[in-house]
Structures are given as C-alpha cells and as structure tokens.
Amino acid sequence: MPKRDPVDQTLVEFILKTIKSRSTNQLLEYNSRMNMTLREMTKSGLTADQLNALPIHFILDSVNKGEISKEELIDAGLNEEAIMVVEGGRTEEEEGGGVGEGGGTETETPLPPPPLQRKRPPIGDPIRDEDISIKHGGLSQESLLSEIRSGDALIEDIQTGINRKLISKEDLFESGCKAEFIERLLSYSSVPIKFPSIKELEPLRKNATDIYLLGRRGSGKSTMLASFFNYAKSMGVIVNTQDSSFGNKYRNQLQLGMIEGHLPSSTPKQFINHIPINLKFENNIYHQPLNFLDMAGELIDDVYEEGISGFQTYKDFLENQNDKILIFVINYFENKTKIAEQEQHLDELFSIIKKFNITRKTIGVYLLLTKADLFPDSNKQKFCDDFINKHYIGLLNTIKTDRKDHKYVIRSFPFSIGPTKFSYILEDCDPNTNTNLITYPKILMQQFEEDCPVSRRGL
Ligand SMILES: Nc1nc2c(ncn2[C@@H]2O[C@H](COP(=O)(O)OP(=O)(O)OP(=O)(O)O)[C@@H](O)[C@H]2O)c(=O)[nH]1
Ligand SMILES: [Mg+2]
C-alpha cells in the first residue's frame, strides 16, 4: 500500500468502499491524485466491467510499476485481449492498434505468441477446444465445475469460464440450471449504485411511519424490500412521492432487479437508504406514507461492536416524531452458534435503539425470519413462531419488557423470495410459478395496512 498522509488515507479508504460506483474518469483521477493503485481497487471489488473500461496503457503501466500482477488482473476479470497485451508488455497503441489514450510505456519485451490459437468463439459456444489450457486465468475447469455443482461459484467466474471456453452452457445445464436461468446468469452484471452519504440524504418526511429494517449483513433486508416493492407495484398500491430522488431511483433499481431475478448487492457500510413511498389501497381513500430505512448490515454490526457511539452519527437524521415500525430481519440458520450470535447482536441492537428513545414512538415490532424456502417444514408460519420462541426468546423478552412502557404490536412471520443460486440469482423469477413472490410480500403489505396510520396527504 502506498504511503499517504492520514487525511488522504481516510479518503482513499472511503472511496475504496464504494469503488463499484465510480466512473472510469474518477478511477484515473484517484490514481493520479491520490496514488490509489489498481491493486487496491481490484481488492476492494472493482468490477470486471470497470476494469475493462480502463485505458490499456494505464493497466500496463500499473503492471510495469509492480502495482499489480498479471494474475491479479486475470482474477479480477481482465478481458482476453487486454491480457494478451499485458503478457506482451506493450499497449495495442504501440502495436498500431489504436486502442487507449495517451502514451504507452517504453518496453522492449517482444510480444509472446497469443495463448489462444484461433479467434474467440461466440460467448457460450458449447464446442470445446482441446488446444486451450483447462487452467486459465487462475480458474480451473475442475474446481469451477465443482463450485457450480455445489452452488458456491461466483457469477463472474462462471461468466469468465464460459467466455474463455473453460466450461460450456451444457455444463451449466447438466448441473441443474434451466435454459432461461442460464441466460439470466450470463447477462447478470451488478449494477453500481451511488449511495448518498448521510449528509446528502433528504430529511425523513414528517407525518409518515418510519420503517426500520434491522438485521445483520446478508440477512435479506434489501432482497425483502425488492420483493415487497415489486409486489406492491404490481398491485398498483404504490403512489410515487418526490421526497427522495435517490430513494426513488434505488427502489426502481431493486424492482427491476427482482423482475430479472437479480438480487441486490450488499449495502455498503455507513449507508442508510431512505425510500419514501405512499401506499394507497383500493378500499381506502387515504394514503399511508411510509419511510423505508434500509440499513447496511455492516453498520449494524459496528453498532454492536462500538455500542451507542456507533449510532451517534445517524442520530440527527433519525430523530423525529414519526411513528415507527422496527423490522428485525433474522437470517435463518441451522447452525446453533450462528443462531446464538445473531440473537446476541439483535438483542443488543434493540437495547441501543431503546436508549435512543426510538421505541417511545414505536407502533410495531416485526420479527421476520427470512429464507423460509430453506425451512425444513412446509408449515412456514408455525415453524417460524416455534423457531423464534425457541431460539430468540431472549430478544423477544427484551422487546416484551419494553412494550410494557410503550404499547405496540409484536408480530412474527416468515419471508422468502424462493431458492437462489450463485448468491445473486433467483432460480425462478416468475410470480406465476414462484408463489413466494406473492405470498410473503402480501403478508407484509397486509400488516402495514393494518398497523400504520393513514394520512390525507397526497389526495
Ligand atoms: N434462499 C434464499 N436466499 C435469500 C433470500 N433472501 C436473500 N437471500 C440471500 O441472502 C443474500 C443477502 O441478501 P441481502 O438482501 O443483500 O441482505 P442484506 O440484509 O440487505 O445485507 P446487507 O446489505 O449486507 O446488510 C442474497 O444475496 C441471497 O443470496 C431468500 O428468501 N431465500
Ligand atoms: Mg442490503
């Protein structure tokens, strides 16, 4: 890591956390102004699309300066043409190819013969080329296939494997993927979202119900919201509001992802997404104004580590006289230690929220046990209630004790979007066949209809 002064270092660390949302020009500027290296970027999650959009002379310079190795670039998803240039040690510009901008590097290294003997076939071509090494770019055919079978493979690795003919669509088919799923898998790209900082967020609307989504990293908060918004939209219940342009964009993005069966990426630390909507039911002339607050699980984990001070930054933004619904999104685990750890975190989080006086204005606490498709029982509601009464009794009792002072409803229910594959892709995204996409958001919508006050605003 290059030496920087503490201010620059803090800034670099902040930018690296949101590297996925940065444009090519910004990346080049960070490199020239702050010495941010390509290795730091790729290690922090720079996407293959971002990497491949960088000028080739910049990539080559980074390699020549020893700031990143060819192997690391391959692992990060550098495309084949660029790899060939890197292997040769010169830019295509020097070769007369005209790609990239600015000057290349001065190198005498001759280009080695290209690793592939013939033109790259179309993506997904099932025909195998015996000449091509089965170990390419740090990916081995055997391990990739085994990861595909176990469902642990990274989407980028599968796409790279197909592009480099290491595996074929047939392999995916044989491992149980349907043709329609394979198409969605190959077209998947994580959409970079530029999250506003807490200071940039529009203030929470007054006279609305604030819906807090509280849960650890990966518990399913954003996915749940995506499914809820998609369902509510399809029922014609959502009325747009102009109170947060970012919130509206984020909601639209979540909804489109759900239509394509693509799940959201992990919400970056430090961010709270504020999504205001109005629900308007057919039989009700009034609106229900709701402010959804999708919190980053990483932030919530920090609150657990740092106690109340971890929440201090958000105090001004969150403090208001609005009614509140606290949704504890509980990741369904079978592992006893993971269950106990999650229970401790949520119990502590509830106490912190209580100290902040947030429970004073609370009208409902929902305990949502997610990933119900993984429950071993077909009676999901009963399984959820029994599971919470058995494993989350400590949290439940803390909440019940608090409820003696502030009257609110406590509800528990399961949630699921149905089985997922390779972490970010829904196996079946058609609500006609995947009834999870209707059943669970419908329960949630009914609870909001029942519990949240209405307003004349917007009529
Ligand atoms: N099987 C199954 N997996 C799910 C379901 N919902 C979410 N997941 C998985 O859980 C992962 C994490 O979900 P997210 O919605 O990103 O979790 P989050 O709570 O928003 O996480 P952070 O943003 O990191 O706080 C998803 O990428 C899916 O792989 C579900 O209903 N069923
Ligand atoms: Mg999230």
CB-based contacts of 57: which residues, under 8 Å, 6+ apart? 91, 93, 100, 101, 102, 103, 104, 105
Which among 7, 12, 48 is positioned nearest to 29, based on CA atoms? 12
User: From ligand 2's centre to the CA of 211, what distance in Å?
Assistant: 15
Is the C-beta atom of 221 inside 6 A of ligand 1?
yes
At residue 90, the pLDDT reads: 54
Is the C-beta atom of 420 inside 6 A of ligand 1?
yes
The answer regarding whether domain 209-451 maps to CATH 3.40.50 reads yes
Is the C-beta atom of 440 inside 6 A of ligand 1?
no
Instruction: Dig out the tokens for 245 from the structure.
Output: 């342009």
Residue list, CB under 5 A from ion ligand 2: 221-222, 267
At residue 273, the pLDDT reads: 85
User: From ligand 1's centre to the CA of 262, what distance in Å?
Assistant: 11
User: From ligand 1's centre to the CA of 371, what distance in Å?
Assistant: 8
The position carrying tokens 């940039």 is 200
Which among 309, 389, 308 is positioned nearest to 351, based on CA atoms? 308
Entry pTM: 0.72
Closest ligand to C-alpha of residue 275 is: 2
User: From ligand 1's centre to the CA of 222, what distance in Å?
Assistant: 7
Interval 23-59: pLDDT, tens:
787 788 788 777 889 999 999 999 998 899 888 888 9
Residues of the chain with pLDDT under 70: 7, 89-138, 192, 270, 310, 456-459
Q: Where are the domains of the chain?
A: 6-88, 135-187, 209-451
Q: How big is the chain, counted in residues?
A: 459
Is the C-beta atom of 190 inside 6 A of ligand 1?
no
At residue 138, the pLDDT reads: 63
d(CA 140, CA 144): 6
d(CA 69, CA 403): 58
At residue 139, the pLDDT reads: 75
Based on DSSP, count helices (H) and strands (E) in the chain, helices before strands.
20, 11
Residue of 230, 345, 420, 440 to mutate, ligand 1, most atoms within 8 A of C-beta: 420
**Helix/strand/coil (H, E, C) string of 37-51?**
CHHHHHHCCCCHHHH
The position carrying tokens 């609370």 is 362
User: From ligand 1's centre to the CA of 76, what distance in Å?
Assistant: 23
Instruction: Dig out the tokens for 366 from the structure.
Output: 């929902």
Looking at residue 92, its amino acid is E
Q: How far is CA 222 from CA 7, 138, 374, in A?
A: 32, 32, 18
Residues 420, 188 contacting (CB under 8 angstroms) = no
Closest atom, ligand 1, to C-alpha of 265: 16
d(CA 46, CA 42): 5
